[in-house]
């Protein structure tokens, strides 16, 4: 498979070829989604919920992101690996934003970073891009601001709010981002942004007009959690497959069906005889 770069993404937009992005958080999931032929792998800070069991992305640290990105990079082939910048890793100063973005490339091997927000993050975006690091923007519902927003709600639902989103999208493009994630944005607004930008938009819960789509690995596979988001499509129910397999294993162990001779390695009979003959010479009283 060819290696996807940020130039590839621009080309795909020009050719009207849809871009496929999915999250992954470890070596096996990165390997599987690469083999399935996705264009982009996002090491999302959604790992806070999907693999670490937090109730939001806020507790996720740079160390968490570095640890998981390293594993994903080891499993990924062909796809462009994008690492999320976690909460407070880019908001404090442009210098810390650049240092943290740089760590995700230098230490973990990501090829791009993603950060959330509009006008307020433009200085950080410019600084990171100027250092040669591709940045992916993220507008609409931005999970790191869940406490200000009040929940995972659709954004840009009035003309004035939609206009602000469009302005932010254009400003982010002018600041140098390579692609823009649009999360929970009404179809019409995502469509307008997609038409106005030269860089690709990648939607999640934002309709089919976007240049590409992203879904969370665990959501599309039914792997953990009971949450059925309206925007998600369940392509498989891996959670049930795993539960049934582990139930079968437990039952077979308890009923002494597993292991069988097939799963057993035996000692050479001559060695066994020798062992038994010498057992009474053991320096223990058993």
Return the range that interacts with ligand KIV (CB under 6 A); candidates 9-17, 37-45, 153-161, 269-277.
37-45
Return the range that interacts with ligand KIV (CB under 6 A); candidates 44-52, 64-72, 155-163, 192-200.
44-52
Q: C-alpha distances in angstroms, 129 versus 12, 116, 124?
A: 21, 15, 9
Are residues 66 and 107 in contact, defined by beta-carbon separation less than 8 angstroms?
yes
Footprint (CB under 6 A) of ligand KIV, residues 98-157: none
Q: Please pick, among 95, 173, 183, 271, the residue that the annotation labels catalytic.
A: 183
**Site map (CB under 6 A) of ligand KIV, residues 154-183, x = contact:** ---------------------------x-x
Q: Which tokens belong to 207?
A: 């309709």
Are residues 115 and 121 in contact, defined by beta-carbon separation less than 8 angstroms?
yes
Beta bridge partners of 136: 114, 179
Nearest distance from residue 269's CB to ligand KIV, in Å?
A: 57
Footprint (CB under 6 A) of ligand KIV, residues 209-268: 214, 216
Given 66, 108, 177, 204, the residue binding ligand KIV (CB under 6 A) = 204
Are residues 110 and 104 in contact, defined by beta-carbon separation less than 8 angstroms?
yes
Catalytic status, residue 183: yes
Are residues 205 and 138 in contact, defined by beta-carbon separation less than 8 angstroms?
no
In the bound state with ligand KIV, the residue whose beta carbon lies nearer, of 46 and 155, is 46
* H-assigned helices in 22-141: 27-35, 47-50, 62-75, 94-106, 122-130
Query: From CA 121, how far away is CA 112, in angstroms rounded?
Result: 16
84 binds ligand KIV (CB under 6 A): yes
In the bound state with ligand KIV, the residue whose beta carbon lies nearer, of 162 and 184, is 184
Residues at the site binding ligand KIV, with contacts judged by CB under 6 A: 23, 42, 44-46, 84, 181, 183, 204, 214, 216
Report the catalytic residues: 183
């Amino acid at each position: 498979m060819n290696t996807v770069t940020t130039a590839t993404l621009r080309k795909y937009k020009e050719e009207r070829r849809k871009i496929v992005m999915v999250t992954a958080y470890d070596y096996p999931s990165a390997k599987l989604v690469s083999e399935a032929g996705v264009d982009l792998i996002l090491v999302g800070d959604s790992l806070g919920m999907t693999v670490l069991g937090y109730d939001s992305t806020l507790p996720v640290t740079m160390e968490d992101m570095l640890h998981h990105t390293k594993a994903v990079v080891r499993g990924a082939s062909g796809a462009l690996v994008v690492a999320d910048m976690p909460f407070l890793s880019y908001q404090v100063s442009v210098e810390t934003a650049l240092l943290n973005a740089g760590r995700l490339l230098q230490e973990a091997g990501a090829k791009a970073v993603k950060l959330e927000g509009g006008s307020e993050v433009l200085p950080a975006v410019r600084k990171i891009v100027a250092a040669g690091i591709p940045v992916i923007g993220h507008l609409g519902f931005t999970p790191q601001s869940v406490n200000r927003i009040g929940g995972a709600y659709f954004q840009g639902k009035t003309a004035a709010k939609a206009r602000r989103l469009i302005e932010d999208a254009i400003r982010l493009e002018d600041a140098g981002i390579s692609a823009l994630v649009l999360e929970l944005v009404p179809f019409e607004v995502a469509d307008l942004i997609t038409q106005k930008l030269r860089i690709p938009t990648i939607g999640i819960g934002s309709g089919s007009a976007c240049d590409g789509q992203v879904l969370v690995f665990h959501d599309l596979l039914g792997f953990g959690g009971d949450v059925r988001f309206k925007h998600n499509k369940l392509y498989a129910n891996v959670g049930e497959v795993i539960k049934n397999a582990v139930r079968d294993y437990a039952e077979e162990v308890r009923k002494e069906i597993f292991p069988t001779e097939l799963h057993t390695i035996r000692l050479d009979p001559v060695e066994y005889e020798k062992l038994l003959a010498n057992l009474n010479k053991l320096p223990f009283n058993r």
